[in-house]
Amino acid sequence: MNVLEVKNLSKKIGKFELQNISFELQQGTVMGLIGQNGAGKSSIIRCILNLLKKTSGEITIFSKDHVQFETEIREDLGIVFDELHIPEQLTAIDLDGIYKRVYGRWDSEFFFSQLERFDVPKYDKVKTMSRGMKMKLAILLALSHHPKLLLLDEPTSGLDPVVRDEMLDVLLHFMEDETHSILFSSHITNDLEKIADTITFIHKGEVLFTETKDSLLYDYGLWKGSNEQATEIPTHAIVGKRPSAFGTELLVKREYVSPAFSLEKPTIEEIMVFHVKGG
């Protein structure tokens, strides 16, 4: 069952355009939306949430139209942006009081237990918190009404590796329930490598591909060798090329390359960089 379906989404924003974006998020899975700065990831999430009005296309969440059933859908959605959009003079205690009135299923007990678990202070004003603290608070605010789908827009950008790891732990814990799903936009591909099941790659407002992480990492290989040896690799196998200390580094489609060539497993970051820059 798909919890989110985006079909032929188009949206013009100034000179930028999202063009015919389509992808599906299956229940119980995590999809990573990757792409360079300015590729259109945030705009897609904003269109899904109807914060940006789409020009055309169809978006359904839990099989319901995202505009027509917006209020109903919100109860089951947890949303985190890269900035915490709440008044800075409030404390976690104040926020509990506010969210309780917004969400029917708000769970104060869960919220306070998670604040304690992740060392987020209850009585401090948001403006006195570090960026890491604020992002942990943002995620806990998004989780404490027990949503079924999390939409996360660059939640780990600007965080140190320890806090990022803690955040991923929270998300992995959320995913232990198989009815839960996450759409997670990031250009920190390391994080996605840890938790994503599928990857949708956005480039200049278009979907370049959607693939499962495992097949993505299996389908591509990284070859390193001299410039001369590189000429033996069939050109249709080459996705991208860059100079290296050895001569040349190639990202190739494994299926078109003879097993005689030794290939390394690329990272998602390498797949992204070669696609964007190495053509």
Ligand X SMILES: Nc1ncnc2c1ncn2[C@@H]1O[C@H](COP(=O)(O)OP(=O)(O)OP(=O)(O)O)[C@@H](O)[C@H]1O
* Interface residues toward ligand X, by CB under 6 A: 13-14, 16, 35, 37-43, 154, 187
- Residue 16 phi/psi, 5-degree rounding, is -90, 150
Shortest CB 85 distance to ligand X, Å: 15
Of 38 and 97, nearer to ligand X (C-beta) is 38
Per DSSP (E only), the strands in 14-115 are 16-26, 30-34, 56-61, 64-65, 77-80
Shortest CB 173 distance to ligand X, Å: 26
Tokens at 154, concatenated? 């660059």
CA distance linking residue 110 with residue 145, whole number of Å: 9
CA distance linking residue 174 with residue 33, whole number of Å: 19
CB 8 within 8 A of CB 22: yes
Based on C-alpha coordinates, what's the Rg of the chain? 21
CB 274 within 8 A of CB 251: yes
Shortest CB 187 distance to ligand X, Å: 5
**Beta-strand pair 2-13/56-61:** antiparallel
Greatest CA separation for the chain: 68
Nearest to 184 by CA among 270, 53, 61, 80: 80
Of 96 and 153, nearer to ligand X (C-beta) is 153
